[in-house]
Structure 1
Amino acid sequence: MRHGVVILPERRWPQAREQWMLAERLGFDHAWTYDQLMWRWLRDEPWFAGVPTLAAAAAVTSRITLGTMVATPTYRHPVTLAKEVMSLEDIARGRFVCGLGAGAGGLDDRVVDPTERTPRQRADRFAEFVEALDRLLTRRNTSFAGEHYAFEDVPVNPGCLTRPRVPFAVAATGPRGMRLAARRADTWVTAGPPGRFDALPYEKTLPDIARQLDRLDAACEATGRDPATLNRLLLTGALVGGVLDSVESYRDAVGRFGELGITDLVVHWPRASFPYQGDPRVLEAVAEEVLHLGRQTAARTPPLTPPPGGDPHDEGEER
């Protein structure tokens, strides 16, 4: 199993820089930040932008994979996002995963676009958003005409280092979103049982996660994809609680979720207060006793991002 951590973009860079560098030193496989204008319970607290934060993190790290958790159509356009993703991946020298989600109609939606959208309308827009972004990142010049997005002859040059493009991690719990993940994603993302606003002890979420994984397998089969080729990432902390209470709970959660088929477990960097309140010393102990020990006794799981390819200038019209 691979191990990841979410670092909220809430600290000024001199402090945040130390967090990102420590995440790499601790041995985490990947580190993420939220691509939001504001975050639920922290609306009035300090909150920096995701893309510049990840660019700065890429410049001070060398091994750890970085990612958005998650970029949405809420205030992103596929053309501008494609340029930012290409640039982030270049700074990180291929160590980047583009996490994507439909958006939940929260604070960011009301600030940028007060239009009320049903879950179906958000799903329609998201499917088109992912399709457009996929085309932009795999072709040298792209035109697109859809219900939500239209653009003509947009260059994305020099393109991604990773072929055919930056990996996508698609967050989805419904059948349509899972089929989209099966078609377009390298990694499927779940935060646990949907429709809740409080965390359950992780052991109580196991049946829900197992059912989600069964539905994901069915979505893969329906789209003709081998389920074994899709990574499965569980984001804990908001709906799945207790994972980072102790080294023992973390080790137990890794074992239980790993048996279900989860390939990547992500926790939040512990904060001094709600949300994601916890003790940073536990995070460091987990790194020492679980992450490092596991890599001494077994072959390391392949990285979430494939090695970069050659120069896209050597390719034809479609990369």
Structure 2
Amino acid sequence: MMEAKQAAPDRLSSLPAELQDEILVRLDLRDAVRTSALSRTWRDLWKSLSVISLSFPFGTHPSVVDSVLLRYIGPRVSLFRICVDDACADRIDDWLIALSRYRVESIDMCGTLRSLGNFNLHSSIFSLGDLVSLLLKNCRIPPLPVGFPGFPALQKLVLAYLCVDFNEIHSILSMFTMLRSCHNLQNLKIESRHVSYESFEADWEFLNALWTDGMCANLQIVRMIDIISLPNETSFMKLILSKATLLHTLYVGAHPYDFDDHIIDMLKCKRASAQARVQFEVKILILMYLCKLFYCTSESGLYFIEKLDPLRKDNQHKTFAEVFYGPLRL
């Protein structure tokens, strides 16, 4: 009877632990978990990796995220990326609390809620002091904790479509605290929610008192979208113009009926940067405003609009300046 052939050595299982770890950290999460099927040695090895990247595709069931965060016992998360939809909105708090146990280097969270609007961000986000990159979209920022030191290691910050109430004093203070904590910030975008009143007026003197040396030292581009020239909006733009030494573009997207004394006053203010320019984008409805302004008859006004055809669908998102003269810079 022939002797049974000796089983071939399991070279994967005999690899040094450091090399196994190096292999796994180069895989995405799904492939790293699948290596558990290779052998008993590799089973659940991903749970104790020195660093793991957690990137969950859109539509991932919340239970999958729960399971991964519950089972991973390693020290470091290089990336946590997820699209927050209605199915997982109520799990965000628990996930951020769970992440606070690790050294998290990068967070990328984008809200895609249909029924709830922007999702609420948990205050535990401020405990992630090792963050190098932070991207937040469509969320509500909680009040900054007292004594918040900022993110000392942060190199990249992307904030898009956040809910910060610029009409409340505590929100204004929180925003300035955040700006002071982002020393390398180069591009800032603020979109108005069309609030028709201000419960607290933050004039230039008040905002100037909040400014500190070195604040927005690298700021180059500021975009103010859909403003309606409320005092707080124009005061903030005046402050940026007068303080940001590297600023080269202040982009103002406004409504045609909002070009009033506040805007004129802002344009006259002193600019800290010699290269700073203000670029206006006015919605296409300014044509009707101009017709009224110059007392055009309804017939001539309609003819004027039809002839230039600015209200065609392919022009809906173009500006008055783009359709007729090119960008308007002041």
Which category describes the TM-score, using the shorter chain as reference length?
Answer: 0.3 to 0.5
TM-score (normalizing by structure 2): 0.32
Question: For the pair shown, which has the larger CA radius of gyration, 1 or 2?
Answer: 2
**Greater RCO (Cα-Cα under 8 Å, separation 6 or more):** 1
Q: Higher helix fraction: Structure 1 or Structure 2?
A: 1
